[in-house]
Amino acid sequence: MDDRAVFTDRGKLREAQLRLQNRGIAIHLKFCALHIFFNVCGRFRAVDPNIDNIRALVFCLQATTTVVEYESVLDEIRVVSPVSRKVKVNGNMENQTVDQYLRMIHPTSWTKFGNGSLTPEEASAIAS
């Protein structure tokens, strides 16, 4: 199972992951796209009442298998929802768009390509 990802809301499966890991069986848990979508809606609905329109794109983003696909879907999200919200970063107020918010969730934590064999270029792209 170490070459496959398990997409979950991390509840009881986290405990199972740890117990199996102690027995030498690796399971890669990934964040649930539905929960990520709900988080996006909760954070951006005030500035974009139509934020629900990106639901399919969030699932497409999770299903990406390469960095190129990942970046392409993020670009599409930026087009569909270009508005930004104000967030505090290091004591300063900054603008944050939906695609910027999603970029803060590391691809290895929730995408298909983040669990596969990466080319050197892909590994470099997601390391930064």
Give CA–CA dist 46/40, Å, rounded.
11
Compute CA 94 distance to the chain's CA centroid, rounded to the nearest angstrom: 21
Give yes or no for a contact between 113 and 65, defined as CB atoms under 8 angstroms apart.
Answer: yes
> 123 in helix, strand or coil?
helix
Cβ atoms 44, 20 nearer than 8 A: no
Which DSSP helix (H) or strand (E) runs through 31?
strand 28-31
**pTM for this predicted structure:** 0.77
Give pLDDT tens digits along the chain (128 positions): 555 555 655 566 667 767 777 888 776 677 889 999 999 999 999 999 999 999 999 999 999 988 899 999 999 999 999 999 999 989 999 999 999 999 999 888 888 877 666 677 766 766 65
Cα–Cα distance, 66 to 13 (Å, whole number):
26
pLDDT for 6? 58
